[in-house]
Chains A and B, each alone.
Chain A
């Protein structure tokens, strides 16, 4: 036979899932929270979202072009980073701040360490922490005048809880509260979370253990108060962080046991920061600190290979 056939090593078939459509699913899952944020906070929120995503994608393109690397912006990971960063911004922030954060996330945290899959911290969160330290005034200003409900004090529910005030749990669940663009509506976030779980993009393991640990921690050290504990869970960035940031593939452990350990560490750190830290919020710092522990956690939790666990006769 004259014709040449394709020859390769098995397996000769592959699943349909690609990196690109996984990233696309994460983008879809963030749409409910984004829409809610824009609807509640208005035009500047939309501007922040678009500008941050553009900044991330563009900086990835420019960096790869300058470094003569293959252009990978179509894999969707820069879009995801941009959206997560934008949803972590206060609604009235000047647009240049999240754009600067986007460049930092992509160039410093992701590309300098080798690009997709090589970063040891969640790029969006590292950028957020960078902005929190650099522009504390802008980043902690939630006194959005344009929002159509009573927020004269401008204090976020977490700050109110800190100050010993009661918060309205129903408002927390719906999202009628001040906060960052994407973190306010628990319902919108859970719709996205369920979407990701149903589509098997993420496993619920890390988020549930994380939230569960925070709940136990706050309940025990916060005075055995159920309403207070529930308010702490729904307020701030916990739901958003647990489902969308702690589950980041690159910066969370591969092993099942490791994911359990990781979830517990996240919960303990978040609870500690929230109860006794300098700021009422603690999710971002808890996640990036735990990111650093991932290689160690993985090393300590390697699974026992099949048949290596001793005879079960």
Chain B
């Protein structure tokens, strides 16, 4: 059997050599530092604040509770004083209501923080409650609340728990570092999840551009009957949920289905490690592994930081800029958000800060479509982007939907590969928003 993969996809420059061999450096929180906790760091309803200005808060304390079934708690990552609740800038450029805490540097934690716990003695309900309380969401970028994902309609129908170690986004190395430095957390976290699903096998999918991680984890799971490591072909977007499920199981899901409909639960590497920390070490989600990279920073590397830390601190810790960046991206170059400021906090879904001395996109002028079909052959969703583009240009929402435009995952392959440099993905994002808005009416 060849390497597991999907049909379509691209091979962009990986850029991982900048930071892949840099061990995770823990950035301690600093006394007097202003921490910002947006109430919406996940898919679903924003969390509801439980604290008010002037309150004293502890490390690990729930400062805002889930605002609905699909929502997640927000926890304080330091101890200190609530300075206020006000709108603050987040990575996607929006102003989001956020709780502001000034760190008192005391590291005063909630009771029981950090105590070891034997997960095999916990019931399924207890595990789900711990994960919910810990504020864990999909840390790969989407931010879907993990406790919801782990509570499917029929838990016996789940036969695969897939740990997503593809890390197909160029430049990102945080998941790789976790696999190399904390593999026992991943395996233990996966065991916790498997305890919830009696019929499931655990599969850790890793792209074959990370041979050392594959080797290390394969060695560690060789005596685990329910867990196996599955090498995946290195190809973007191998780590997309739908493409990963297809590569591992041969099953296909579309936009109106959940992974559970195909008998799968998919969790990112860092999410699984966070589950381990919450369940086995009573350490809720208060930190994040962030890759700071690109050709503009002095020392590209991987950091472990507290949630709520300002991005400027990450840049300073990476030695600042060696050249003025022309472009800064929260995340990687394929799906990340371009930034106009560094004054925003590390959130649960943050993964990287990628900086470019030269913005290769700015100077590109789109030229007419020559119908070369490259976008058609790379689309992992098997769509026909040129036809979707002409519907987009006419703002024809109906045609766009009949061409399955709502199946687009916005991975960027079509725009990446277009020789005429047409803004395909960008147009589709706008159309998808317009269609979603029209459906809400």
Q: A residues bordering B, Cβ < 8 Å? A: 1, 3-15, 17-19, 21-22, 72, 75, 77, 115-118, 203, 249-250, 252, 254-256, 298, 302-309, 311-313
Residues of B within 8 A of A252 (CB): 371
Contacts of B253 on A, CB cut-off 8 Å? Answer: 307
B residues near A312, Cβ cutoff 8 Å: 250-252
A-B contacts, 20 listed (Cβ < 8 Å): A5-B327, A5-B339, A9-B338, A9-B429, A10-B336, A10-B412, A11-B335, A14-B360, A17-B374, A19-B367, A22-B370, A117-B369, A249-B370, A303-B376, A306-B242, A306-B252, A307-B253, A311-B251, A312-B251, A313-B251
Given the complex of chains A and B, what is the CA–CA distance between A72 and B365 in angstroms? Answer: 12
Does B293 sit at the interface, judged by CB under 8 A? no
For A5, list chain B residues within 8 Å (CB).
325-328, 338-340
Residues A254 and B384 in contact, CB atoms below 8 Å apart = yes
State the majority secondary structure of interface residues on B: loop
Chain A contacts for B410, CB-based, 8 A: 10
By size class, the interface of chain B is 35 or more
Between B263, B328, B382, the greatest number of chain A beta carbons within 10 A of the residue's beta carbon is seen for B382
* In the complex, residue of chain B having the shortest beta-carbon distance to the beta carbon of A118: B368
CA–CA, A311 and B387, complex, Å: 26
Q: Enumerate chain B interface residues (CB-CB to A < 8 A).
A: 10, 12-13, 170, 242, 246, 250-255, 257, 262-263, 324-329, 331, 333-342, 354, 356, 359-362, 364, 367-374, 376-377, 380-384, 386-387, 403-404, 407, 410, 412, 415-421, 423, 425-426, 429
Separation of A71 and B12 alpha carbons in the complex (Å):
31
Instruction: Please state if B371 and A249 are interface contacts (CB–CB under 8 Å).
Output: yes
Chain B residues whose C-beta falls within 8 Å of the C-beta of A1 in the assembled complex: 341-342
Decide: A12 and B252 in contact? CB cutoff 8 A. no
B413: nearest chain-A partner, CB-CB: A11
Q: Check if A7 sits within 8 Å of B257, measured CB to CB.
A: no
Given contacts A10-B338, A11-B425, contact A305 B383 (CB under 8 A): yes
Q: How far is the CA of A302 from the CA of B426 in the complex (A)?
A: 22
- Decide: A19 near B423, CB < 8 A? Known: A8-B362, A249-B370: no
Q: Is the CB of B338 within 8 A of A307?
A: no
Give the CA-CA distance A227 to B246 in the complex, in Å: 48
Contact between B370 and A117, CB atoms less than 8 A apart: yes
| Contact status A305-B386, CB under 8 Å | no
Within 8 Å by CB of A3, from B324, B371, B420, B426, lies B324
B338, A6: Cβ atoms closer than 8 Å: yes
In Å, the complex CA distance between A254 and B387 comes to 9
Q: State whether A7 touches B340 (Cβ < 8 A).
A: yes
A9, A18, A72, A298: the one within 8 Å of B421 (CB): A18
Chain A residues in 8 Å Cβ range of B425: 9-11
Q: Nearest chain B CB to A28's CB is how many angstroms away?
A: 16
B323 to chain A, nearest CB (A): 12
Q: Which residues of B contact A254 (CB under 8 A)?
A: 371, 373, 376, 384, 386-387
Q: Which residues of B contact A313 (CB under 8 A)?
A: 251, 262-263
A251→B326 CA distance, assembly (Å): 40
> CB < 8 Å: which of A10, A118, A255, A306 contacts B376?
A255
A312 to B253, CA, bound (A): 9
